[in-house]
Amino acid sequence: MVLMMSCMKKYLVFISAILLLAFQACKGIKNNKSETNQQWQSLLAGNSLEGWVVKITNQPVGENYKNTFRVKDGVLSINYDEYDGFENSFGHIFYDKEFSNYRFRMEYRFIGNQLKGGAGWAKRNSGIMVHCEEPRQMGIKQYFPVSLEVQLLGGLDDGLRTTGNVCTPGTHVAIDGVLVKKHCISSKSKTYNGDQWVKVEIEVRNDSIIKHFINDELVMEYTDFELGGGIDANADFWKSKEGLTLNKGYISLQSESHPVEFKNIELLEL
């Protein structure tokens, strides 16, 4: 009888373990299915900038100075054919909605030549700013929004120049658990020369982790993003918020003096 009860007890423990594993598997399938069923949404509406807000240094919010940002045939482009020189006209075009937990993807390529007057570091240089400040609160002369920048760089046909780096205007991040106050931190991507299209994807998880993927390869991840560091406008306001965690914001694309094109701009909320 004792032997029978012992066997029965082991059998019940075994069955309980099987049922628990089955429940967890079903729960995982359900979670994956609910995420898969969510739709990627295009952030471009035809051949217009509907849903986007432009902010260019020394210009009021909403002024698309010298027709810098244009959309044609599903491609959002940054153009300087109406400029005589750059004159620090750093620009950003914001999708006019805040996001917190999402995946963002698109393709980009650099074309043509850098505009006269652009800085040497800005050659074949652009970026995707995430957890951005509100464009309407930026100062008239402000160069960059407080944000986390997924820096996009094109190769210079000589040596390594990684893309999908992280830069931190008015922010700090942690790499491998260590807070880094260096402005730009290089990824482990390859170098992409010429005018080839390059795919970039960003996974943003609220205030916990951000990952950068280039051509489907994970090249950078960081955590513990917080406000801090110098900013060229509203300095007292941002100083009062140093150390606060970033957990949401706008997404913007950058114009820094080199013509660039973006296509297949999509977002999946998680």
The string of pLDDT tens digits covering residues 102-158 is: 999 999 999 999 999 999 999 999 999 999 999 999 999 999 999 999 999 999 999
What are the start-end ranges of the H helices in the chain? 2-37, 235-239
Reference 118, options 79, 156, 86, 82; nearest CA is: 86
Q: Residue 29: how many CB atoms within 10 A of its CB? A: 10
Residue type, 62: G
Q: Residue 29: its pLDDT value, please?
A: 46
Residue 85 has, within 13 A of its CA and on its CB side, a CA count of 5
Confidence of residue 160 (pLDDT cuts 50, 70, 90): very high
Give residues with Cβ within 8 angstroms of 103, minimum separation 6. Answer: 201, 202, 203, 204, 267, 268, 270
In whole angstroms, give the CA distance from residue 109 to residue 151. Answer: 13
Predicted confidence (pLDDT) per residue in 86-112, tens digit: 999 999 999 999 999 999 999 999 999
Structure tokens at 54: 């432009």
What's the average model confidence in pLDDT over 31-58? Answer: 83
244 in Cβ contact with 226 (< 8 Å): yes
Collapsing DSSP to helix, strand or coil, 230 comes out as: coil
Confidence of residue 230 (pLDDT cuts 50, 70, 90): confident
Q: Residue 8: its pLDDT value, please?
A: 47
103 in Cβ contact with 270 (< 8 Å): yes
Q: Over the Cα atoms of the chain, what is R_g?
A: 23
